């Protein structure tokens, strides 16, 4: 057979032209130290900050310390088999997690692996866990409310979509309870919820999952869990992973609520990492970039402008204080990053005021503009009334002779306090909250004593629902409490009070 040189040359030329050469340079290094979830690697000269490294045993690590002779990295899925001399390769990628609808209703670890035994997560969409937040021009002001269903919060510390509201308080003061109630209240409201558990007991996370499932809230929620038994690196990346999962929905025009429970433990995990990496320690032994750790996370919660779909991420970070000290390092940091805080107090909690919100120390810096008009009109003086009541209550503790005005302020304050108490897992729709707050100040209510307030409103709300449900529908549709409805409520309260007093 004759060999056609021209043909061969053409074939070769074509192959050369079609050849796809990847220009990725893979660096290969060697583990020189491994322990406590940290490895030191020699020989990686072209590694990038935050790049994912692939270790010989299949584990992956993130390069955090780039030093002259070696690289310090944190191992994410350490199974204890890493040893000196193993090869480590750079991958050219940053850490990413699976995102998308497939995650809804699932419990995953910070790497996106399922923890709930419901099979694989079928998605081919991934997002990097550390991305810059939306730019200034991409944002729009907070203008829509995000109802928590808790009357004390929706009336006085309103939260808007895209806001970051800190929940702060000592241990066992109902911090998680507020976050869970808010998630439950998003049912049928077209809000996706992400609950990130950091450094908690596995049993607590299990409880949360069961409660969400029982109240039908798991379908629109994702739980990202790095429990106390997980390594510090996993706990460290958990909130960023959760945030990326939330961002996927936000950039598709959806509203998302994300809860970080809690950032104190997150800071501790990061401190552990930093000390193991031998970074210099600062105040309370936290590293110097501890502020940036939380600010870059919380800055990713935004309300996007309409051109980008108008989605939002509302963040409820939780911080635990020691003996009510909100001036400690982490609490002050996070207070200054967020748009307000809900401060919970042990004394109030123990005295039976639950949710134990200290109204005086709690604020919402942007949510007011997102509150519906009807709520603003009935809750306008609530904060002041309560402050006045508390002040007088302190002064009159020992006195016996009180004038009528003082007595009226005191009894009204007591009733308001009673009204703001709310059991767990029982969110109240905003229309009902408006009716409650309007009716409590009516003259007809003077005859009702403090101990009957809860029962009174339970029955009154039902009475309105049965006789004139249009009141609720009106508030929901127009966002206003019309004069007509006010008049009707006034008359209804009068006649209802009469029959109520006869019954008890
Ligand atoms: P931790 O510091 O352990 O995380 P926490 O501050 O998150 O605690 P929760 O776990 O939410 O507090 O609540 C502590 C206890 O108080 C729980 O047993 C919970 O059921 C109860 N609790 C919380 N809120 C209420 C409420 N509004 N009414 C009645 N009980 C409540
Ligand atoms: Mg908790």
Q: What is the pLDDT of residues 248-284, one digit of tens each?
A: 999 999 999 999 999 999 999 999 999 999 999 999 9
* Nearest ligand 1 atom, CA 344: 6
* pLDDT tens per residue across span 363-386: 999 988 889 999 999 999 999 999
CA nearest ligand 1 atom 23, residue: 174
Query: What average pLDDT score do residues 121-127 get?
Result: 95
**Does residue 21 have a pLDDT over 80?**
no
Regarding the beta carbon of 354 and ligand 1, being less than 6 Å apart is answered: yes
User: What is the pLDDT averaged over residues 60-64?
Assistant: 95
C-alpha 475 – ligand 1 centre gap (Å)? 31
Residue-level pLDDT at 80:
84
pLDDT tens for each residue of 294-314: 999 999 999 999 999 999 999
Q: Is 173 in the pocket of ligand 1 (CB under 6 A)?
A: yes
C-beta of 355 in contact with ligand 1 (< 6 A): yes
Q: Which residues pair with 40 in a beta bridge?
A: 33, 72
- 175 within ligand 1 shell (Cβ under 6 A): yes
Integer Cα distance of 183 and 69 in angstroms: 48
Query: Of the given ranges (10-14, 140-144, 338-342, 352-356), which has the lowest mean pLDDT?
Result: 10-14
Q: What does the DSSP assignment read for 144-169?
A: SB---S-HHHHHHS--BTT-B-EEEE
Ligand 1 proximity of 412 Cβ (cutoff 6 Å): no
Looking at residue 22, its pLDDT comes to 65
Give SS3 for 289: coil
104 contacts 221 by C-beta, under 8 angstroms: yes
Of 176, 198, 319, the one to substitute when testing ligand 1's pocket (max ligand atoms within 8 A of C-beta) is 176
| CA of 195 relative to ligand 2 center, distance in Å | 12
Check if the beta carbon of residue 330 is closer than 8 Å to that of residue 338: no
Round the average pLDDT of the chain to a whole number and report it: 94
CB 313 within 8 A of CB 256: yes
Q: Which atom of ligand 1 is nearest to the CA of 261?
A: 4
**pLDDT reported for residue 458:** 95
Residues lying with their CB under 5 A of ligand 2, a single-atom ion: 176
Structure tokens at 199: 């450094």
Give the mean model confidence (pLDDT) for residues 390-414: 85
Quick one: which ligand is closest to 320's CA?
A: 1
**88 - beta bridge partners?**
29, 55
Residue 395 pLDDT grade (very low, low, confident, very high; cuts 50, 70, 90)? confident
What is the mean pLDDT of the segment spanning 101-111? 96
CATH number for the domain running over 377-503: 1.20.150.20
The sign of the dihedral angle between the CA atoms of 485, 491, 497, 503 is negative
First to last CA, the chain: 112
Q: With bands split at pLDDT 50, 70 and 90, how would you rate the model's confidence at 403?
A: confident
CA angle 411, 412, 417 (to 5 degrees): 100
Q: Atom 21 of ligand 1 has which residue's CA nearest to it?
A: 174
Residue ranges of the chain that CATH labels 1.20.150.20: 377-503
CATH code of 28-94, in short, is 2.40.30.20
Ligand nearest to the CA of residue 425, numbered in listed order? 1
Exposed / middle / buried, residue 97 (Cβ in 10 Å: 0-12, 13-18, 19+): buried
pTM attached to this predicted model? 0.93
With a CB cutoff of 8 Å and minimum separation 6, the contacts of 320 are 168, 169, 170, 171, 175, 262, 264, 265
| Closest to 245 in 3D by CA, of 107, 54, 91, 120 | 107
Residue in 142, 156, 153, 198 with CA at minimum distance from that of residue 317: 198
Q: Which atom of ligand 1 is nearest to the CA of 422?
A: 27
Query: Which is nearest to 127 in space by CA: 43, 247, 27?
Result: 247
DSSP 480: S
Report the nearest atom of ligand 1 relative to the CA of 177. 11
**What sign does the dihedral 178-158-226-270 (CA atoms) show?**
negative
Residue 394 pLDDT: 84
**Cβ partners under 8 Å of residue 162, min gap 6:** 139, 142, 301, 302, 303, 304, 312, 313, 314
Which residue intervals of the chain bear CATH 2.40.30.20? 28-94
- Strand 96-98 relative to strand 51-55, pairing: unpaired
Could you identify the atom of ligand 1 that is nearest to the CA of residue 355? Answer: 27
Mapped onto helix, strand or coil, the DSSP state of residue 84 is coil
168's tokens: 């702060």
Return the SS3 of 206.
helix
Report how far residue 159's alpha carbon sits from residue 171's, in angstroms, rounded to the nearest whole number: 23
- Which CATH architecture fits 98-371? 3-Layer(aba) Sandwich (3.40)
Catalytic residues: 365
| Ligand 1 center–CA 175 separation, angstroms | 6
DSSP state of 371: S
User: Which structure tokens are listed for 115?
Assistant: 């923890």
Distance 128 CA to ligand 2 centre (A): 28
Q: Where in the chain is the domain with CATH 3.40.50.300?
A: 98-371
pLDDT score recorded for residue 461: 96
Summarize pLDDT for 210-255 with one digit per residue, the tens. Answer: 999 999 999 999 999 999 999 999 999 999 999 999 999 999 999 9
Determine whether the shortest distance from the Cβ of 170 to ligand 1 is under 6 A.
no
Show the beta-strand stretches assigned E in 43-84.
51-55, 60-66, 70-75
Q: Is the pLDDT of residue 3 over 80?
A: no
Mean pLDDT along residues 446-468: 94
Residue 23 backbone class (left: φ over 0; alpha: ψ -120 to 50; beta: rest): alpha
Determine which residue's CA is closest to atom 22 belonging to ligand 1.
174
Contact 108, 114 (CB under 8 A): yes
CA distance 268 to 262: 10
**In this predicted model, which residue has the larger pLDDT, 399 or 363?**
363
Nearby residues of 79 by Cβ (< 8 Å), 6 or more positions away: 57, 59
């Amino acid at each position: 057979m004759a060999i056609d040189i021209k043909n061969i040359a053409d074939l070769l030329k074509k192959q050369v032209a079609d050849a796809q050469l990847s220009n990725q340079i893979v660096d290969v290094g060697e583990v020189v130290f491994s322990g406590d979830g940290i490895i030191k690697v020699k020989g990686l000269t072209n590694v990038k900050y935050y790049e994912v490294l692939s270790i010989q045993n299949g584990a992956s690590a993130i390069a955090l310390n780039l030093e002259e002779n070696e690289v310090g990295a944190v191992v994410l899925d350490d199974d204890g088999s890493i040893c000196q001399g193993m090869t480590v390769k750079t991958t050219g990628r940053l850490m990413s997690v699976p995102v998308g609808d497939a995650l809804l209703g699932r419990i995953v670890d910070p790497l996106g692996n399922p923890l709930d035994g419901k099979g694989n997560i079928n998605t081919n969409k991934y997002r990097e866990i550390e991305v810059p937040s939306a730019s200034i021009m991409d944002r729009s002001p907070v203008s829509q409310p995000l109802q928590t269903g808790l009357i004390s919060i929706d009336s006085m510390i309103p939260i808007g979509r895209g806001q970051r509201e800190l929940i702060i308080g000592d241990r066992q003061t109902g911090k998680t309870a507020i976050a869970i109630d808010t998630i439950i209240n998003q049912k049928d409201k077209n809000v996706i919820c992400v609950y990130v558990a950091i450094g908690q007991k596995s049993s607590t996370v299990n409880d949360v999952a069961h409660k969400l499932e029982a109240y039908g809230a798991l379908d629109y929620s994702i739980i990202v869990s790095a429990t106390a038994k997980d390594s510090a690196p996993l706990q460290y990346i958990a909130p960023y992973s959760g945030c990326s999962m939330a961002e996927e929905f936000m950039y598709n025009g959806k509203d998302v609520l994300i809860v970080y429970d809690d950032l104190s433990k997150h800071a501790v995990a990061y401190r552990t990492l930093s000390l193991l990496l031998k970074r210099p320690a600062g105040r309370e032994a936290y590293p110097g970039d501890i502020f940036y750790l939380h600010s870059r996370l919380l800055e990713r919660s935004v309300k996007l402008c309409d051109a980008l779909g108008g989605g939002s991420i509302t963040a409820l970070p939780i911080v635990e204080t020691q003996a009510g000290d909100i001036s400690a390092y982490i609490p002050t940091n996070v207070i200054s990053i967020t748009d307000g805080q809900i401060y919970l107090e042990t004394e109030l909690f123990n005295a039976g005021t639950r949710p134990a919100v200290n109204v005086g120390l709690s604020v919402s810096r942007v949510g007011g503009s997102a509150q519906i008009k009807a709520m603003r009109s009935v809750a306008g003086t609530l904060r002041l009334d309560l402050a006045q009541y508390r002040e007088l209550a302190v002064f009159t503790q020992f006195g016996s002779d009180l004038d009528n005005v003082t007595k009226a302020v005191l009894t009204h304050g007591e009733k308001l306090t009673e009204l703001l108490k709310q059991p767990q897992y029982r969110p109240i729709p905003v229309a009902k909250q408006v009716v409650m707050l309007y009716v409590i100040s009516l003259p007809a209510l003077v005859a009702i004593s403090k101990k009957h307030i809860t029962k009174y409103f339970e029955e009154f709300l039902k009475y309105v629902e049965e006789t004139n449900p249009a009141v609720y529908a009106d508030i929901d549709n127009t966002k206003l409490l019309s004069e007509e409805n006010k008049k009707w409520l006034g008359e209804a309260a009068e006649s209802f009070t009469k029959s109520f007093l006869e019954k008890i």
